Copies of this chain bind each other. A is one copy, B any other.
Amino acid sequence: MGRVRAVSATPDVSSEQEFNAYIKNVNAEIERALDASVPMHYPERLSESMRYSLLAGGKRIRPALCLAACELVGGTMEVAMPTACALEMIHTMSLIHDDLPSMDNDDFRRGKPTNHKVYGEEMAILAGDALLSHAFEYIGRETKGVSADKVLRVIVDVGKCVGSEGLVGGQVVDIMSEGADEGTVTIDTLKYIHAHKTGALLEVSVTAGAILGGASEEQIGKLERYAQNIGLAFQVVDDILDCTATSEELGKTAGKDMAVGKSTYPSLVGMEESKRIAADLISKAKQELEGFDPVKVKPLIGLADYIQNRKN
């Protein structure tokens, strides 16, 4: 991993503007670290395919949450950066595989042709597999200055949040619910899908950062609940944006959920109620942050607001 340049560990993000400046700095660090995390090597076509999707300029919410949680409890950004990169590798893997013709069959992602449109299906499947195994290797190899016990705990937690009890499990229930008869997909099923498909990885982004930063079990518990709430809010907002934003704004096909008859928050409870639910979840998330250092906590507050107000 490349050297991580110093960024103020306790930014004063008392306003949206200040948060924007903070997140811009942090994201520049994340981009630098991601660029170094998957170097080019033989066979170059595979490295290219992995880098094409990893460096396609996503929102980097998972790495940002991981770094902010680590710094909140007194850790450094350096300590959490390998895990932050690994979380983005895993997120990227899930996007590459989701976009495949046999899955969601999407041609565009983040405003660019999807991985399989550029490199072919074989390479897209394999690039995802390589990113997934590289993620675990990277956490184990590159995390410095933390006990092996803690690194192992992070690896186990990340693994659980990706597999059949996490991201992939949520994905499977999502697929099984697609095109189901109206009324058969309940709000509970939708909550399961969201909590696993999106929530699990967001949650472990926060808790892994906290563990690496040396958080107490009580702090980890609070941050876990913070993460659960923003995770669910994230997906409610995603559902809302699928109805209201244009494809250009999203960088991917808009209105796709409706087109494939997918149950969403707006389709199940209506648009206004969906917005109220999102706001309520963000408010609950912020409550969990009470008791933490009021200055150091600002990045996590800003990230919660960002998740509620994002336009893509």
Contact = CB atoms under 8 A, between A and B. Distances in A.
Interface of A: 38, 41-43, 45-47, 50, 90, 93-94, 97, 100-103, 120-123, 125-126, 128-130, 132-134, 136-138, 140-141, 147-149, 151-153, 155-156, 158-160, 162-165, 168-169, 171-173, 175-176
Given A46-B164, A132-B129, A148-B147, A156 B140 contact: yes
Contacts of A43: 164, 169, 172-173, 176
Q: Which 8 A-B pairs have the closest CB atoms?
A: A137-B159, A102-B121, A148-B148, A133-B162, A140-B156, A136-B136, A130-B168, A133-B163
**Copies of the polypeptide in the assembly:** 2
Contacts of A162: 129-130, 133
Given A133-B136, A133-B159, 11 more contacts: A41-B165, A46-B172, A102-B122, A122-B175, A123-B172, A129-B162, A130-B164, A133-B168, A137-B156, A147-B148, A155-B155
A296 to B, nearest CB: 29
A46 to B, nearest CB: 4
Q: Which of A90, A103, A133 has the most CB of B within 10 A?
A: A133
Contacts of A175: 122-123, 126
B171 A126 contact: yes
A133 B274 CA distance: 33
A126 B168 CA distance: 6
13 contacts: A45-B176, A94-B129, A97-B125, A100-B102, A101-B102, A103-B121, A130-B164, A132-B133, A137-B160, A140-B153, A141-B156, A147-B148, A148-B149
A200 to B, nearest CB: 11
Contacts of A133: 90, 132, 136, 158-159, 162-163, 168
Contact of A129 (B97, B101, B137, B151): B97
Nearest to A124: B102
Contacts of A158: 133, 137
A159 B134 contact: yes
